[in-house]
Amino acid sequence: MSNTKFTAENTALLLIDHQVGTMKLIKNIPLEEVKKKTLALAKMAKVLNIPVVFTSSQEYAAQGPLMPELAEILPDAFEKRVKREGIVNCWEHKGFYDAVIATGKKNLIMAGVTTDVCLVFPSISAAEEGFNVQAVMDASGSPFNLSEDLSQQRMAKAGVVLTATNTLMAEIAQDWARPEGGELLGILFTDVLPSMG
């Protein structure tokens, strides 16, 4: 990854397969935390007008529909979500790839419901294609600690930057004193950070 700074103007958010069935596979971190962080990323994108691409895989099967809260936060992006029929690496799905290219952004924030399947492959594919990729690890998870660890190693080796929601939001905010920065700070304290009480 180059030293390109991630800003609201040069970045797109890709949320991959955050489906209510598949989410139950996450065991390495608390599921509620993954949900909260995923929704916080969506709220951040809404505040900053960052383009968002949602994708899902076989919503009619065990994977289930995307988290309904995502539709409440970003109804247009949710409506335009890319529904895949089984292609594992969403980067190899023409509809998803075209949607990402259409954003015109070279900096990609990615989170996938499972790090070890949904996130690892497209993040590496995008990095290999010259995109700057940050993978948000607390909005993703795995069934096993081993598969999580190995996937993180593969991504980092391929040049994907591993990050956490609060770190990413601080980087994108740049200045908490701006109106948008204040809104992001509100999201951080409400949805991301532990209680200060």
Which of 94, 77, 88 shows the shortest CA–CA distance to 124? 88
Q: Which amino acid is at 176?
A: W
Catalytic choice (16, 82, 118, 139): 118
- Cα Dmax for the chain: 48
The residues that bridge with 132 in the sheet, in sequence order, are 107
User: Going by C-beta distance under 8 Å and a sequence separation of 6 or more, which residues neighbour residue 163?
Assistant: 134, 135, 136, 137, 171
The helix/strand/coil state of 95 is helix
Which segments within the chain are labelled E, that is strand?
Answer: 11-16, 52-57, 82-84, 107-112, 132-136, 161-163
pLDDT at 194: 84
pLDDT at 1: 45
pTM: 0.95
> Is the separation of the CB atoms in 93 and 5 below 8 Å?
no
Q: Is 71 exposed, middle or buried (0-12, 13-18, 19+ CB in 10 A)?
A: middle
pLDDT at 56: 94
Which segments within 113-174 are labelled E, that is strand?
Answer: 132-136, 161-163
**Chunked mean pLDDT (size 10), the chain, 197 residues:** 80 96 93 95 97 95 92 96 94 97 98 96 98 98 97 98 96 90 90 81
> Is the separation of the CB atoms in 12 and 52 below 8 Å?
yes
- Looking at the chain, the whole-number percentage of residues with pLDDT higher than 90 is 83
pLDDT at 195: 79
**Catalytic status, residue 118:** yes
Cα–Cα distance measured from residue 169 to residue 44, given in angstroms and rounded to the nearest whole number: 7
The two structure tokens encoding residue 103: 């954003």
The two structure tokens encoding residue 5: 């700074």
